[in-house]
Structure 1
Amino acid sequence: MTTSRLFPRPREAAVLAAVLGLLVLEEIALNLAEEDARPVVGGLLIGASCSGLLAVGALLFGRWLDARRPLPLPPPGPNGREYSARALEGFPMEAVRPLLLAEHAPQLGQLYSAWMLARTGRPAPWIARRLDLPLDAVQLLVDAARTRTGTRPLLEP
């Protein structure tokens, strides 16, 4: 699974830190337990470890589902997907025009989709990855959307 972030999200980091803390506490508890109580303590610790592994698995599964969730698209029109004039208000066409004239230029519809996602606060690496667009083109749109609306980028949904 590819991701644009090196570090986990804060919620994921908290879960992973809790699981690691649980493993350390389990080792300490097993060493401090009396010889007669070790089988019972060991059984409880195995149950706690399994629940920690389930939490990490659920977290990774949620990240996998987020990466495969379809993007919101406008309804199809007679010429494909069309955005309203109000939705495209503020689109930096003059700044994007050189990108459209380049050799391996992105399609205008892709840039419109990137604009819509940038207006919702999505970060540029996420948009570039999801729409398969060059990062510099998407960063241009994200910066324009941020100055227009004053939004901050989301923390990678």
Structure 2
Amino acid sequence: MPIQQEELLFRPQYSYLTVRDYTLVDQPGFNQALTVAQTQVAASNGSEIVIVCAQDTLRIRTVVYVHEDQPACSESDEWPGRISFTLPVPTSQLHVGDAFGNAVIIDLPGPPGDFAVDISYRGREQARAKVAETIEQFAAMPLRQGMEWLEQWSGIEEYRIDVRHI
């Protein structure tokens, strides 16, 4: 049972989001982690997790769950993809989102230190297929009307981020 939950529904700038302590920006290895995440969904440079989204037309849903102990979510038919990391959080504040203000900042319980972070995902292929199916209709609409029309498919692509102190 999570002790805290935060949700973000947004289009990440440059098609990726990160999970990190806000003070650990610009650490070595980010570009290598981004390259790996392009084929493996998520990767880490040891201080930041990069998640590359399947598409950037529809808004994605990201939910962060903070747990006191082992989270109940595991790889299943409901969440077919899962990748686990260990992440340092020296300020006990976790930043989840993109670098352009689409983010939530979560005050983690307990002392600063290392946290287990499990990234689960679903809907990536469905989101790609919906974009391919609708892109011509979207392109023919005025921008504002097209963006409103796309809202009906917001959240097809989802990421669940489970965090706990280790």
The answer to whether TM tops 0.5 is no
Q: Which has the higher strand share?
A: 2
TM interval, shorter chain, is under 0.3
Q: Which has the higher helix share?
A: 1
- With normalisation by structure 2, the TM-score equals 0.24
Higher relative contact order (CA 8 A, sep 6+): 2
Rg larger for: 1
